[in-house]
């Protein structure tokens, strides 16, 4: 188990409480506007389960996936959502999804792990399926003060990576941090698997 997952296991309750009410309504509405009605969605790196619960409430078939057993338990216990415990870099869906929501998760992956995640999209996302990613731009790549690995992305670098893995970018949006932290911005990307 890597240090980042250990952190989330050890601080699951605290992390759940600090993130469950962060407002992602605008991004979620944009995401579902690009999906068919009743689409199947998986939230990869679902954390608190906040977005899984919201998508289910909007009439979508949504489940979560997280590598932290403790965070998955918090999401199940507090929100009643379905969460698979697995590694986002190796997990393969039995049946591909219409949409993958990957909010603030990709940034925890080293380069080779991120590449494995993108390669697995061929199994996990339907052709023309929708992928949402949010990553940080403006941070230092490496381990933060909490022992979590964080990778900085620039907009151009992220676009190049997505295109290299057969994804067509629909739009890139930027936003400030929902928890009020400063010194970076979020890159929010909507793209389709060609």
pLDDT at 179: 86
13-52 pLDDT tens trace: 999 999 999 999 999 999 999 999 999 999 999 999 999 9
Enter the pTM of the model. Answer: 0.96
The alpha carbon of residue 62 and the mean position of all alpha carbons in its chain are separated, in whole angstroms, by: 13
Tell me how crowded residue 91 is: count the other CB atoms within 10 A of its CB.
17
Kindly give the parts of the chain with pLDDT less than 50: none
pLDDT of residue 131: 98
Give the separation between CA 82 and CA 179, rounded to whole angstroms: 25
**pLDDT at site 161:** 96
Q: What is the pLDDT of residue 1?
A: 63
C-alpha dist (Å) from residue 74 to 6, 160, 175:
15, 36, 27
**Structure-block tokens of residue 96:** 């591909």
Asked if residues 51 and 103 have their Cβ atoms less than 8 Å apart, the reply is yes
- Domains, in order of start, for the chain: 3-19+26-193 (3.40.50.150)
Residue 145 has what DSSP assignment?
A: T
């Amino acid at each position: 188990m890597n240090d980042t997952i250990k952190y989330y296991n050890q601080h699951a309750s605290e992390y759940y409480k600090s993130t469950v009410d962060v407002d992602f309504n605008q991004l979620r509405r944009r995401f579902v506007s690009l999906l068919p009605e009743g689409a199947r969605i998986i939230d990869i790196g679902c954390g608190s389960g906040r977005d899984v619960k919201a998508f289910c409430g909007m009439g979508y078939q949504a489940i979560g996936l997280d590598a932290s057993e403790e965070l998955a338990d918090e999401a199940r216990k507090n929100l009643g959502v379905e969460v698979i415990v697995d590694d986002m870099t190796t997990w393969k869906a039995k049946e591909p999804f219409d949409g993958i929501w990957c909010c603030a998760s990709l940034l925890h992956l080293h380069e080779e792990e991120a590449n494995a995640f993108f390669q697995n999209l061929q199994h996990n996302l339907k052709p023309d399926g929708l992928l949402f990613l949010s990553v940080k731009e403006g941070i230092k790549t490496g381990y933060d003060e909490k022992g979590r690995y964080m990778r900085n992305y620039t907009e151009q670098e992220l676009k190049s990576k997505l295109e290299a893995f057969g994804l067509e970018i629909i739009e890139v949006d930027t936003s400030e941090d929902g928890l009020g932290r400063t010194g970076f911005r979020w890159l929010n990307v909507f793209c389709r698997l060609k």
